[in-house]
Structure formats: structure tokens, C-alpha cells
Amino acid sequence: MPDTAHDLTTGDGSDPRADADAARERLERASERLEAAKTAIDEAGGRETVETGADAYRSAASLLDRYVDLATGTGRETFKHYINLEGEYSTLVEDLPADLPHREAFEASFEAVDKRRLHESDFESAESALGPAERFVDLLQEEAAAEEEVTLARKAATDQLDALEDEISDLQRLRSLADADLEAPVDRLRDPIEAYNESIREAFESFLYDRSARTVFDLLERSRLRPFVDFETPPPELREYVEDNDAGTYSIPELLEYAEYSRSKLDHYVDDPDELKRRIATRQTYLERIDATPLTLSWPPADATTLRYAIRDRRPLVERIGGQELVEGLLAVRERTYDDDYDRLQTAANALDQLSATERERLQRRDIDAELEGIRDAREELEAALADG
């Protein structure tokens, strides 16, 4: 495999291969730490023994902490607490397995408080004698910490794996654009598309202001038969209102304006002001969103076949809006799809639209195939580490 590590930097300056290596190494270290923690538990007598010892240590430490103030000094209550401490501690030690490692630490700790009168120094001695048995707790805490680190490392590795997938997709996209002729005269496509888009926007705005809401809704309903035109069709209750009431003879901008009128003023325009306000106000956002966008042609353009279907679906609607003159602008775009160099210009247009200045520079100075190979290798190594860890 070629050494491409020095080339594997993204447009933002990060190094996905180095980041993946770091995530993999972290996961490997975390897995080794967990394995070492489990081995230490085995060497200390096994999990059952260590858990027994840890429970005993916590119980003993809790007894000492609970009775240090109650059982020190003199007096009847103090003696009563001393008796309780001695009984509980004696039972705890006696119940320990005979072969429990560090059993002598519990015995020595008990002996430190097995006196007729106790002082704080006796409890300090008992805690000190118990010290070696704390190893049980340390072993379990280290295992828990190692397990948490493995979880975090796996999460980081999974996130980095997602980042590698994104980088692979980006590199594949760049490679697909690498052969585009970035100097191609794409204005031969852009100019007729922009001219048509400008014309349809102007014509549609006039259509909205000059035609009744009923006529506009009829156009929108007809678009349902045109899969390449994605107008949002009118809500049924609004469609019904426009069809069945005289208010439907007003234009959409007029209806939106009337909805702001007072009821007394609106009474001069419609028979039922309340119904108009209710029907229009509740669908104001929908009405305000109606524009020519679904009839425009996107830039960069689609492939020739798709663009022809898009033009075919727009043609009858465009003719209703602006007549044959507007249709001619649409057909001028279709003519370009039959040019011998359409595919070259369309590919170049997509490349120019998708590639940032940084990405263009990247294409000029990078071996994309080598980068892909390096990133894929990093992905495989990280996937293997996740499978093992």
C-alpha cells in the first residue's frame, strides 16, 4: 500500500487517517487496561473472592466510621455502643472465608478495637490495619473505570468511523467530478435557464394578481398530474370555499388583504365577512407561499432526459400563465438538451456548483484514488479494532 498519510488531509485541514489511528489506539489501550484489570482480579483469587473481600472491607470501614464517636470514651451509652461494635465486627470477621486473602487485615483491625475502652487512636489503628484489604475495592474500581473507558473509546471510534464514511463519500464525489471540464462554456446552458426563470417568475406574479383565486387553484390542481411540478395543492376546505363562494372571484392577494379588514369594511366586499376571515386567516401561510418556484428550472441542470421531462410537465401550465411567448423560453432550454456537448456542459455546471475553491485546489494537487485507499485502510483497521474490543 502506498504511503499517503501526508496527503490525507481534508479541506478543513484535519487528517482523518491520523484521527482514526488515534481513535483505534485509544480503543486498544482501553481494551488492554480492561484485560489487565480482569487479570488482576483473577490473580487476586477470582471475582467471587474479590467481591466478597470488597463487601467485607466496605462493611468494616462503615462500622468503624459509624462507631468512632459513639464508642469512644466512658459512660453507659458509650459502653453499650462498644458492645454493639464488638459484636458486629466479631461476626463480620468470623463469617469471612478462612482462605480469604488479607483475612489477617480484618483480624488485626478487629483486635485494634477489641478493648474495654476505646479512643480515637484505636479506630485510627483499626483503619490502618484494614488498609491491605482495600485492595479488593481498588481492583473492582479499576475494572469499572476500565469498562467506562472502553465504552467511551468505542463511542469515539464509532464516531470516527462515521467521519471516515463521510470522508469516503466526499472523496468519491470529488473523484466523480475530477474529469469535469471546469473551463467549459456553461453559460450556454445558464443563460436560457435564467432567462426562462426570470420570465416565469414575473408572469406568475402577474397571474396571481390578475386572476381569481379560483383560477389559480385550478392551475394548482392540474399540477397534480405533473410529477415534475411540485406545487402544494390547496387544502380541501379552502378549495371548497373558493369554489362555492363569490370570494373566489377575487385574486389571492386581494383575499389576503381583505382578511385584514374590519368586519364592517369587509361587509362591502363579501356576504359573510366572518367566514372569509376564518377561511383565509387560517390558511394565510399557505396562500403567501404560493409562487413560481415549482415552475422554475433548477441550476445546475439535470441530465438531458430528466430535464426534458421537467419541461414537458411545465409546458401546459406555463402556457396557461404566460401564453406561447413564455413557452418559447421554455422550449429554448429544451433545445439545448439536444446539443452534442450538453452532457459535457451539464457535468461542468454540476462540478462548478458543487466544488468550492478549496476543493478545486484539492483536485489539482491530490491523488484522490490514493486518498481513498488510505481512508479505506483506516476504516478497515478501525472496524477490526471495534470487533476485537
Same domain, 232 and 89: no
CB-CB contact of 153 with 389 (8 Å): yes
Task: State the Cα angle at 316 between 291 and 331, rounded to 5°.
Answer: 95
Residue 72 lies in a domain: yes
Domain count, the chain: 2
CB 51 within 8 A of CB 140: yes
Q: Is residue 5 part of a domain?
A: no
Q: Which residues of the chain have pLDDT under 70?
A: 1-14, 73, 178, 357, 360-366, 389
Domain boundary among 141, 172, 204: 141
- Are both 134 and 214 inside the same structural domain? no
10 Å Cβ neighbour count for 314?
A: 25
**Cβ proximity of 195 and 329 under 8 Å:** yes
Contact 287, 239 (CB under 8 A): no
The pTM of this model reads 0.54
- Domain assignment present for 66: yes
Report d(CA 90, CA 84) in Å as an integer. 10
Looking at the structure, do residues 118 and 209 belong to the same domain, yes or no? Answer: no
Residue 381 lies in a domain: no
The CATH number assigned to the domain holding 136 equals 1.20.120
Q: Name the nearest CA neighbour of 232 among 154, 150, 288, 169.
A: 288
What does the buried/exposed string (b/e) look like for 328-342 if buried means 16 or more CB atoms within 10 Å of the residue's CB?
ebbeebbebbeeeeb
- Which phi and psi (to 5°) does residue 71 adopt? -105, 10
Domain housing 194: 187-352
Spatial neighbors of 33 by CB under 8 A, at least 6 apart, are 146, 149, 150
In a domain, residue 289? The reply is yes
Q: What is the pLDDT of residues 201-239, one digit of tens each?
A: 999 999 999 999 999 999 999 999 999 999 999 999 999
**Per-residue model confidence (pLDDT) at position 389:** 64
Do 331 and 237 fall into the same domain?
yes
Cell, residue 34: 480492561
Please tell me whether residues 81 and 203 are part of one structural domain.
no
Query: Does residue 146 lie in a domain region?
Result: no
Q: Is residue 153 part of a domain?
A: no
Give every CB contact of residue 351 below 8 A, 6+ residues apart in sequence: 177, 180, 182
Do residues 343 and 199 share a domain? yes
In a domain, 88, yes or no: yes
Read off the C-alpha cell for 306.
430528466
Alpha-carbon distance 248 to 347, whole Å? 46
Rounded Cα–Cα distance for residues 307 and 301 (Å) = 7
Look up residue 10 and give its amino acid: T
Q: Contact 298/269 with Cβ under 8 angstroms?
A: no
Q: Choose the final residue of a domain: 111, 141, 171.
A: 141
The distance of Cα 107 from the centroid of its chain, to the nearest Å, equals 57
Same domain, 199 and 347: yes
- Say if residue 331 is in the same domain as residue 218: yes
Instruction: For residues 379 and 373, give the distance between their C-alpha atoms in angstroms, rounded to a whole number.
Output: 10
